[in-house]
Chain A
Amino acid sequence: MRNHTTIRRRAFAAASVLVFTLTTAACGGAKATDDDDKPAAKPAESCVDVSGDTVKLGFVNSLTGAMAISEKTVSSVLGMAAEEINASGGIMGKKIEPVQEDGATDWPTFAEKTEKLLTDDCVAAVFGGWTSSSRKAMKPVVEKHNGLLFYPVQYEGLEASKNIYYTGATTNQQILPAMEFLKAEGVKTLFLAGSDYVFPRTANAIIKLYAAELGIEIVGEEYVPLDKDDWTTQVSKIVKAKPDFIFNTINGSSNVGFVKAYTDAGLKAETTPIISVSIAEEEAPNMGASVEGQYAAWNYFQSVESPANEKFIKDWVAYDGPSDVTSDPMEAAYISLYLYKAMVEKAGSFDVDKINEAADGVSFDAPEGKVVIDGENHHISKPGLIGKINADNQFDVVWSSDAPIEPDPFLKGYDWFPESTRDALVKAAG
Chain B
Amino acid sequence: MSTPTDVESPFLPVAATPTDRRRLPRSSPRLSRDTVSLIGIGVFAVLMLLVAPAVLSDFRLNNLGKYACWAMVAVGIGLAWGRGGMLVLGQGVYFALGAYAMAMHLTLETAGPDAIPVFMILYDPLAPLPGFWEPFRSGAFTLLAVVGAPVLLAGTLGYAIFKRRVKGAYFAILSQALAVALAYLIGGTIKLTGGDTGLSDFKYFFGYDLSDPINKRMIYSITAGLLVLCLLVVWQLYRSRFGELLVATRDAEERVRFLGHDPANIKLVAYVTAAVMASIGGALFVPIAGIISPKEIGAAASIFLIAGAAFGGRATLFGPVLGALLLGYGRSSLSEQWENGWIYVLALMFILVTLLAPEGVASIPRRAAGLLGSLRRPTESRPPRNTAAKETKS
Which residues of A line the B interface, CB within 8 A? 4, 8, 11-12, 15-16, 18-20, 22-23, 25-27, 29-31, 33-34, 38-41, 43-44, 63-64, 100-102, 104, 106-109, 111-113, 115-116, 119-120, 132-133, 136-137, 139-141, 143-144, 156, 158, 196-198, 201-202, 205, 225-226, 418, 420-421, 424-425, 428
CA distance A105 to B190 in the complex (A): 18
| Given A137-B198, A196-B188, 16 additional A-B pairs, CB 8 A | A4-B23, A15-B42, A18-B42, A18-B45, A22-B49, A23-B225, A31-B218, A43-B211, A108-B289, A111-B289, A198-B197, A201-B190, A201-B191, A202-B122, A425-B118, A428-B121
* A111 proximity list for chain B (CB < 8 A): 200, 289-291
Residues on A with C-beta less than 8 A from B196 are: 133, 196-198, 225-226
Bound-state CA distance A38–B342 (Å) is 41
Q: Is the CB of B229 within 8 A of A144?
A: no
Q: Does B170 contact A (CB under 8 A)?
A: no
Pick the contact of A225 from B57, B111, B184 — CB < 8 Å?
Answer: B184
Contact B225 A158 (CB under 8 A): no
- The answer to whether A26 and B53 have CB atoms under 8 Å apart is yes
Q: Give chain A's interface secondary structure class.
A: helix
Contact (Cβ within 8 A) A201 B339: no
CB contacts (< 8 Å) of B200 on chain A: these are: 107, 111, 136-137, 139-140
B63, B225, B239: most-surrounded residue (chain A CB, <10 A)? B225
Beta-carbon contacts under 8 Å, B125-155 to A? 125-126
Give per-residue flags for B236-259: 1 if the beta carbon is below 8 A from chain A beta carbons, else 0: 100110000000000000000000
Scan residues 61-101 of chain B and give those whose CB is less than 8 A from a CB of chain A: 62-63, 66
A137 lies within 8 A of B212 (CB): no
B226 to A, closest residue via Cβ:
A23
A8 to B236: give the CA distance in the assembly, Å. Answer: 8
Q: B49 to A33, Cβ gap below 8 A?
A: no
Q: Are B38 and A11 in contact (CB under 8 A)?
A: yes
Instruction: Report whether B342 and A23 are in contact in the complex, using a CB–CB cutoff of 8 Å.
Output: no
The answer to whether B222 and A158 have CB atoms under 8 Å apart is no
Checking B38, B225, B239, B332 against A22 with a beta-carbon cut-off of 8 angstroms, the contacting residue is B225
Whether A137 pairs with B125 at a CB distance below 8 angstroms is no
Interface residues on B, range: 35 or more
* Chain B residues in 8 Å Cβ range of A201: 122-123, 190-191, 195
Contacts of B197 in A (CB 8 A): 107, 132-133, 136, 197-198
- Whether, in the assembled complex, B159 has its beta carbon less than 8 Å from a beta carbon of chain A, the answer is no
5 contacts between A and B (CB under 8 A): A12-B235, A25-B49, A108-B291, A111-B291, A136-B291
A16 partner, pick from B222, B224, B232, B289, beta carbons under 8 A: B232
Q: Is B318 an interface residue when CB atoms closer than 8 A count as contact?
A: no
Whole-angstrom distance between the alpha carbons of A420 and B115 in the complex?
Answer: 13
Contacts of A107 in B (CB 8 A): 197-198, 200, 291, 293, 295
Min CB–CB distance B49 → chain A (angstroms): 4
A108 to B332, CA, bound (A): 12
- A159 CB → nearest B CB, Å: 10
A112, B63: Cβ atoms closer than 8 Å: yes
Shortest C-beta distance, A110 to chain B (Å), equals 9
Instruction: Return the contact of B188 from the options A115, A119, A205, A225 (Cβ within 8 A).
Output: A225
B367 at the interface (CB under 8 A from A): no
From B201-209, B357-365, B368-376, B377-385, the one touching the partner chain is B201-209
Chain A residues with CB under 8 Å of B66's CB are 112
Complex: chain A residue closest to B23, CB-CB:
A4
B187 an interface residue at 8 Å Cβ cutoff?
A: yes
In-complex Cβ contact of A116 among B59, B184, B289 (8 A): B59
| Chain A, residue nearest B187 (CB) | A225
Is B391 interfacial (CB 8 A cutoff)? no
Contacting residues, chain B, for A19 (C-beta < 8 A): 45, 49, 225, 228-229, 232
Q: What is the distance, in angstroms, from B52's C-beta to the closest C-beta of chain A?
A: 10
Closest CB in chain B relative to A272 CB, distance in Å:
26
